[in-house]
Copies of this chain bind each other. A is one copy, B any other.
Amino acid sequence: MSTVPKLELVKTVLDRVQRHVKTQRSNSRNEALLQAAAMLFASRGFLATSMRDIAKAVDMLPGSIYYHFPSKDDLLLAIYQAGVEQISATFTEAVTPLDDPWQRLSAGMAALVRAVTEESSGTRVIFKVMPDDVPRYRDELIAFRDEFEALFRDLIEQLPLQPNVDKHLVRLMMLGAGNHAQLWFSREGPYTPDEIGEQFCHYLQHATARAEP
């Protein structure tokens, strides 16, 4: 056991530790690395993306990545975490100012479709990369997903639905519809992501069937 160190020394050490803990290591290329990996994971998938692909995207040698992240799996974990944080924030921000439950769902669906179609963001990774692709972090990734889906569950819960409608099924239906947009959405298409989300909500709220003539 050493003697009590001076206050300044303690501060300095803490600063250094924080700098190591807050981000994975320091800061500079770290962000670029996350962003490049996120883009590749989102478009090609996790298994189809190699560390060499990622390295090439940030103009770096494969081995150098391991200075910033301890493994490919951890790289995905970091992206997942950041992705969930971002979509949860965006989602909450869009929903909270609204009072009407249907308007809230409409805004939520819009946020969801925006997330799965955003081109340069980690939010897409959450919906593209399946937890089973990373056995080591399977449970953690599922937990991250649940974190977002809980917000969505609350939104559905507050909906004034007819008594014979199962809210559980409604949630899965809307989540599936929104999620699926990542496979067919195109910037050249006739709708914005927001419009798609809002339309989906609209179809659920109002009868789409024409009244009997």
Which residues of A line the B interface, CB within 8 A?
44-45, 47-48, 102, 130, 132-133, 159-163, 165-166, 169-170, 172-181, 183-184, 191, 196, 199-200, 203-210
Q: Given A176-B181, A181-B176, A191-B169, A133–B205 Cβ distance below 8 Å?
A: no
The answer to whether A173 and B209 touch across the interface, beta carbons within 8 angstroms, is no
The answer to whether B205 and A207 touch across the interface, beta carbons within 8 angstroms, is yes
Contacts of A204 in B (CB 8 A): 203-204, 208
The answer to whether A162 and B45 touch across the interface, beta carbons within 8 angstroms, is no
Q: How far is the CA of A179 from the CA of B175 in the complex (A)?
A: 11
The answer to whether B205 and A169 touch across the interface, beta carbons within 8 angstroms, is no
The answer to whether B180 and A172 touch across the interface, beta carbons within 8 angstroms, is yes
The answer to whether A205 and B209 touch across the interface, beta carbons within 8 angstroms, is yes
Contacts of A165 in B (CB 8 A): 203, 208
Q: Given A169-B196, A180-B180, A162–B209 Cβ distance below 8 Å?
A: yes
Q: Given A176-B181, A180-B176, A199–B45 Cβ distance below 8 Å?
A: no
Contacts of A170 in B (CB 8 A): 203, 208
Q: How far is the CA of A210 from the CA of B161 in the complex (A)?
A: 5
Chain B residue with Cβ nearest A180: B176
Q: How far is the CA of A45 from the CA of B178 in the complex (A)?
A: 22
The answer to whether B203 and A206 touch across the interface, beta carbons within 8 angstroms, is no
Contacts of A161 in B (CB 8 A): 208-210
A-B contact sample (12 more), CB < 8 A, given A47-B47, A161-B210, A180-B180: A161-B208, A162-B209, A166-B199, A170-B203, A172-B177, A172-B181, A173-B200, A176-B178, A176-B181, A179-B180, A204-B204, A207-B207
